[in-house]
Amino acid sequence: RNDPDVRHVKVVRGLLQHHGVTVRTRGGDGGRILDPSYVDSANVGDIDAHGGSARLPVLFCRPLLHRLSHAFIPGLGGCDIGGRPVDFHFEVLRQFGATIE
């Protein structure tokens, strides 16, 4: 609930939808109802175009690897507030047996 109409929320919503998650608005409180029954691989071009403007897509990697055994993470964007490495995400995935290309 209280789903604000800001860019990062739109990026997450779009990435969910590109991966087959049904996102519906819940009446009254502005919340969302998510149905992940049909999660599937998304088109790489769609992910890159939609998610490359933020750093959030790296957080989709773990659940996608669990559900689909593969994931694509676009070039990460975001604002320029200083270095915010994501290497530690990839290192944890490697420790669990993932191959990073």
| Element holding 90 (H helix, E strand) | helix 87-95
Please give the backbone phi and psi of residue 15, each rounded to the nearest 5 degrees, phi first.
Answer: -65, -40
Q: What is the 3-state secondary structure (H, E, C) of 18-84?
A: HCCCEEEECCCCCCEEEECCCCCCCCHHHHHHHHCCCCHHHHHHHHHHHHHCCCCCCCCCCCCCCCC
Of these residues, 69, 79, 85, 99, which one is catalytic? 79
61 tagged catalytic: no
Which residues are part of the catalytic machinery?
A: 79
